Chains A and B, each alone.
Chain A
Amino acid sequence: MRPAVAHTTLFSYLVTRPTGRTVRATVERQIADAGRTVLAVLDLRHVPVIDFSCADEIVAKLVLLASDASTRRSFILFRGIAEHHLGPIDSVLRHRGLAAAAESADGEPLLMGALDSGATAVWREIWILGRTGASPLADRLELPLDRVCGLLDDLVSRALVIRDGERYVSLRHALLDARPSSPARPGGPGS
């Protein structure tokens, strides 16, 4: 499966719930308009402040939407995450028992929110490898195959990795592998 990619680069202060709702609505519209599964990439590199309300409206609710398997239309990747974004984002995700895939401003993988250490280790391996199967992962992590398969199911259900037949693909790899379905365009008043 190769999702379409929708980029949103945010620039301004992400504070207050109405601002968050507007940004989220823009991303949701991009997902709906694509007519197929979408990898939505939100770049926060130029966001000086994000508060808890906005983090909840944008990050937590988009992740919630993506992790609803019954309506799975999207995967969400956050980029340009800096130290000052992490506090509010991590907090709102943990509050809802969610986790989100991200890349720091330095290009390092970041798993934000609540995820157990086993699933986190598998997620990191997939990030490094880009695309891989359950058996190579079990070998690399020196874990039983059935345990790795259980952790992979969890990551897939949370939309933290993409399942492509017997292979598992990191969101970053999917981004690098895909051509944008449309030119990068601004997303809402924060853009």
Chain B
Amino acid sequence: MSRVVRVPERLDESSFETLVRRVRWGGNPKARLLLDARSVGWVSPYGLIGLLAVGQEARVRTGLPPLIEPPRDSEVRSYINRMRFWPAAARVFDFRRLPKPSLEVSDALIEVTTIRSHEDVHSVVEGVRDRAQRILHDRLGYPRPAVIHFSVMLSEVCQNILEHADSIGWVCAQRYRWQRRLGRDVVVLAVMDVGVGFDGSLGAEHARRYGERWSAAAALEAAFLHGESRFPDPGRGQGLKAIRSQIIKWNGAIRIRSGDASIARVPDWGEGEPLSTGLPRFPGAQVLIVLPERVEREERVERGRT
């Protein structure tokens, strides 16, 4: 007997919390999960790989491969097909019939990609260059070196899955228009895993020092703000700090969710709190990075910083 969970109609970083709440609470936790995505009418890169994360978590927890009902909306179906969602989903969900692979050319910066090894990280980073050039430089007005800085950021955030999560993960990035929120084009990069999370990763090295104050939020602060790592090697932990610093330079946003907390760099145009606790508990880490189209005012500020 499967437990049916309805996927929100609009699936992004905000409604991902609703999905997690529905999956984690209520019903038989050991029953096979059936994600009912039929009414999904819009999905962001975060939402797309969020489906994989939720499916993988259920698979690990129940020992049963979950099922998924694809969206009915033809545009959404076409989009997730172009984003190569189904090949990645086939490793997570049990399909009776895998949708036909898309023959359409995707305009995504990075299609849904499973990260299982360092070779996968190499492949993603080496494959993104031309598209990053076209999207970040040509469309969003970033200077040419930003393409390399983006590659470095991508490498570090994907490695985080392998180095700290002890789990597989996924990455996906897309440019689209945030008309209501920002009135500009943005690149949204999402990276997720369902591994041990920041508190699990850093706990052995740092939990004793924090005592009762140790929590997912404390672990996120230690890693994101102070560059701490689970490894005693003093050279570790620099990647995340570097990502944060680059995002500040670009006036972008980053939010990392882990366990029952999230930490964020909230820009002047952004919404949400720098630190949130009491979220529905979910394993691993879920990262959202938003890079906005450049405007003259921000370019002046960045030039002033360098």
One of A91-99, A106-114, A164-172 at the interface: A91-99
Q: Which listed residue (B148, B234, B235, B242) contacts A49, Cβ 8 A? A: B148
Query: Residues of B contacting A96 with CB < 8 Å?
Result: 234-235
Contact B238 A95 (CB under 8 A): yes
Segment among B42-50, B66-74, B155-163, B185-193 that sits at the interface with chain A: B155-163
**Which residue of A has the minimal Cβ distance to B227?**
A95
Check if B125 sits within 8 Å of A15, measured CB to CB. yes
B22 at the interface (CB under 8 A from A): no
B30: interface (CB < 8 Å) = no
B238 x A48 contact (CB < 8 A):
no
Flag if A52 contacts B152 (CB, 8 Å). yes
* Interface flag for B284 (CB, 8 Å): no
B122 adjacent to A92 (CB under 8 Å): no
Q: Is B252 an interface residue (CB 8 A)?
A: no
Q: Is B126 an interface residue (CB 8 A)?
A: yes
A-B contact count (CB 8 A): 70
Cross-chain contact B118 with A84 (CB below 8 angstroms): no
Contacts of B234 in A (CB 8 A): 95-96
B236 contacts across to A, CB distance below 8 A: 56
Residues of A within 8 A of B126 (CB): 13
**What's the minimum C-beta distance from A60 to chain B, rounded to whole angstroms?**
6
Task: Check A49 against B238 for contact (C-beta < 8 Å).
Answer: no
Question: Is the CB of B65 closer than 8 A to any CB of chain A?
Answer: no
- B151 in contact (CB, < 8 A): yes
Query: A61-B235, A95-B234, A95-B235 are contacts. A17–B148 as well, Cβ < 8 Å?
Result: no
Q: Which of B150-206 touch A at CB < 8 Å?
A: 151-152, 155-156, 159, 163
User: Residue A83 contacts which of B145, B235, B238, B239 (CB distance < 8 angstroms)?
Assistant: B145
B163 in complex: contacting residue of A17, A50, A56, CB < 8 Å: A17
> Is residue B149 within 8 Å, beta carbon to beta carbon, of the partner chain?
yes
Judge whether A51 and B118 touch: CB under 8 Å: no
Question: How far is the CB of B147 from the nearest CB of chain A, in Å?
Answer: 9
Inter-chain CA distance A56–B233, complex, in Å, is 10
Q: A15-B125, A88-B152 are in contact. Are A52 and B118 (CB under 8 A)?
A: no
Q: How far is the CB of A53 from the nearest CB of chain B, in Å?
A: 6
By the criterion CB–CB under 8 Å, are B145 and A53 in contact?
no
Task: Scan A33-48; emit 1 where CB is below 8 A from any B CB, else 0.
Answer: 0000000000000001
Q: Which of B129, B155, B163, B235 has a CB less than 8 Å from the CB of A51? A: B155
Is residue B108 contacting chain A, with contact meaning CB distance below 8 A? no
Interchain CB contact under 8 A, A84 and B155: no
| The residue from B125, B149, B151, B238 contacting A91, defined by CB atoms under 8 A apart | B238
Measured between alpha carbons, how far is A15 from B149 in the docked complex, in Å?
Answer: 12
Q: In the bound complex, how far is the Cα of B146 from the Cα of A84, in angstroms?
A: 9
* Contact with B122, one of A15, A57, A95 (Cβ below 8 angstroms): A15
Contact A13 B239 (CB under 8 A): no
Residue in A48, A53, A87 whose beta carbon sits within 8 Å of that of B149 in the complex: A87
A18 interface hit (Cβ, 8 Å): yes
B153 to chain A: closest residue by CB: A51
User: Which residues of chain A are within 8 angstroms of B152 by Cβ–Cβ distance?
Assistant: 15, 49-52, 87-88
A16 touches B122 (CB 8 A): yes
- List CB contacts (< 8 Å) of B216-245 with chain A: 234-236, 238-239, 242
Q: Is B135 an interface residue (CB 8 A)?
A: no
The docked-state distance in angstroms from the alpha carbon of A144 to that of B144 is 46
Q: Is B121 an interface residue (CB 8 A)?
A: yes
Closest 6 CB pairs between A and B?
A56-B235, A15-B155, A51-B155, A16-B118, A84-B148, A51-B152
Measured CB to CB, the residues of A under 8 A from B are 13, 15-19, 48-53, 56-57, 60-61, 83-84, 87-88, 91-92, 95-96
Assuming A16-B155, A48-B129, what are 18 further A-B pairs, CB within 8 angstroms? A13-B125, A13-B151, A15-B125, A15-B155, A17-B118, A49-B152, A51-B152, A51-B159, A52-B238, A57-B235, A60-B235, A91-B242, A92-B235, A92-B238, A95-B234, A95-B235, A95-B238, A96-B235
Could you write out 10 A-B pairs with CB less than 8 Å apart?
Answer: A13-B125, A15-B122, A17-B159, A49-B148, A51-B152, A52-B242, A53-B156, A56-B236, A91-B238, A92-B238
